[in-house]
Amino acid sequence: MSSTTRSLRAARLSTFGFFALNGFLMGIWVVHIPAVEARAGVSHAVLGWLLLLLGGGAFAGMRATGPLTDRFGARTVVPVTAALCSAGLVLPGLATGPLALGGALLVFGFGIGCLDVSMNTHAVQVEHGYRRPVMSAFHAVYSVGGVLAALVGARTLSWGWSPAATLAGVSLLGLAAAALATPALLPPEPAPTRDAADDGPGHPAAGARHRTPARIWALAALALMLMLSEGVANDWSVLAVRDVLGAPAATAAFAYGAFSTAMTLGRLAGDRVAGRFGPVAVVRYGSAVAAVGLTTAALAGSVPLALAGWTLFGLGLSGGIPQLFSAAGHADRDHAGANVSRVAGLGYLGMLAGPAAIGPLTRVVPLNLAFFLPVALCVTAACAATVLRPGAAPAPPRRDAGRLVPGEAAEGAAPGTAPGAVRPATGSVPEPR
């Protein structure tokens, strides 16, 4: 095994670590929301407004981190953002009033957004080295981190630990985990060279600010649609089963459990599916399956059928977002961070907007019929999935060992080629396993 292959495998494991850390930090916060709310002495209504600061901080962090990652490299930015996110976690546990809690959530949200973009940008770099889809598994590990956080949080709460003690302990563990995972991160890729004639004043790159291609905004719009749909499941699935079907609270909780479990399992298998059928097929047919699943959940007359619908909904949505992030990162390797930040940022806004959009609709139609808004968005995403095909907007070529190596298209890219990635020159390192 060559040293380059070993470094790629180590970088992949390190990236798994940062995704798990992000999911764990977010999950441990969610578990402690009721305890933090009680300590800060705020009502549900005030907490709802304060949580918008967490979302706003995350969006600002995503927007800020993309260009920084492109400039300094993911190896530098990922550990810094992981440290910021870990350190910020302790602040909500210390808040004793609404102002302090709002500031704490703003800082923590900023760290979450920064880490989200930087680790996804590094994941794109790892996927490029592997020359096959590996992004979906990273997102699956994020979900696993959230599940582990729920288990750990439930145990510490049963022991009577205060939120400040638990969040401080997890914060220290997060800092240690980030320090351990950092050395294996990949160094920044060398910038592509240009001929001297290309540096003249007439060249677009000379003195011009990078303009985001229309294709990136199209990918971001798809991310908004799919993450809005995911947000609806996160906040309304349990309520729908309880209120529409009259199920007990304990039974209704299985709706979100079925959705999240199906999404995690789908992402664990997503890389093989994307490698076999291509990213366009994953988003197209996955979104169609999600639309069928949510329609089933909305119209179900029994709890088992509703749970089956939520399961199908999670399975259908599972593969879309990893493929969108991957396509954004591979579209222009020199601006991968900025492109990922745009797709992630708009998608995150969709996740925040989803629950808020359903609420007002329930004043006009029953809750289950309001779900046809995300159904329509899933159908739209299925119809627009061809935007993921790199052939529709080829990525700029990069120089590899002195030769230009263009990107390759694929709904059906050649086997072993990451979606939108560039094909390495002949004689490159064998593909890692």
Question: What pLDDT was estimated at residue 200?
Answer: 42
d(CA 328, CA 339) in angstroms, rounded, equals 6
178 with 239, same domain: the answer is no
Question: What pLDDT was estimated at residue 429?
Answer: 40
Q: What is the pLDDT of residues 172-197, one digit of tens each?
A: 999 999 999 999 999 987 655 334 43
Q: Give the H or E element holding residue 350.
A: helix 336-361
165 with 272, same domain: the answer is no
330 with 265, same domain: the answer is yes
Does some domain include residue 150? Answer: yes
Question: What pLDDT was estimated at residue 209?
Answer: 59
Assess whether pLDDT exceeds 70 at residue 110. Answer: yes
Average pLDDT over residues 76-91: 96
Query: Which residues pair with residue 407 across a beta bridge?
Result: 422
Which residue, 141, 162, 182, sits at the end of a domain? 182
Q: Higher-confidence residue: 432 or 402? A: 432
301 with 384, same domain: the answer is yes
Answer whether 8's CB lies under 8 Å from 428's CB: no
Does some domain include residue 401? Answer: no
178 with 218, same domain: the answer is no
106 with 228, same domain: the answer is no
Does some domain include residue 189? Answer: no
Residue 251 structural domain: 214-392
Q: What is the pLDDT of residues 259-309, one digit of tens each?
A: 988 999 999 999 999 999 999 999 999 999 999 999 999 999 999 999 999
Average pLDDT over residues 53-77: 92
Question: What pLDDT was estimated at residue 391?
Answer: 52
What CATH number corresponds to the domain at position 69? 1.20.1250.20
Average pLDDT over residues 196-213: 51
Question: What pLDDT was estimated at residue 210?
Answer: 65
25 with 168, same domain: the answer is yes
Does some domain include residue 208? Answer: no
% the chain with pLDDT above 70: 84
Overall number of domains in the chain: 2
121 with 237, same domain: the answer is no
Does some domain include residue 345? Answer: yes
Assess whether pLDDT exceeds 70 at residue 155. Answer: yes
Average pLDDT over residues 234-239: 81
> Whole-number mean pLDDT of the chain?
84
The packing angle between helices 33-40 and 163-181, to 10°, is 130
Question: What pLDDT was estimated at residue 431?
Answer: 45
241 with 352, same domain: the answer is yes
Residue 359: which pLDDT band, with cuts at 50, 70 and 90? confident
Tokens, residue 193:
């060279």
Q: Concatenated DSSP letters for 73-97?
A: -HHHHHHHHHHHHHHHHHHHHH--S
Does some domain include residue 166? Answer: yes
Q: Concatenated DSSP letters for 272-322?
A: HHHHHH-HHHHHHHHHHHHHHHHHHHHH-SSHHHHHHHHHHHHHHHTTHHH
297 with 236, same domain: the answer is yes
Does some domain include residue 228? Answer: yes
In terms of Cβ atoms closer than 10 Å to its own Cβ (0-12, 13-18, 19+), residue 337 is: buried
Does some domain include residue 357? Answer: yes
- Among 330-339, 350-359, 404-413, where is mean pLDDT lowest? 404-413
149 with 224, same domain: the answer is no
Q: Higher-confidence residue: 251 or 127? A: 127
139 with 11, same domain: the answer is yes
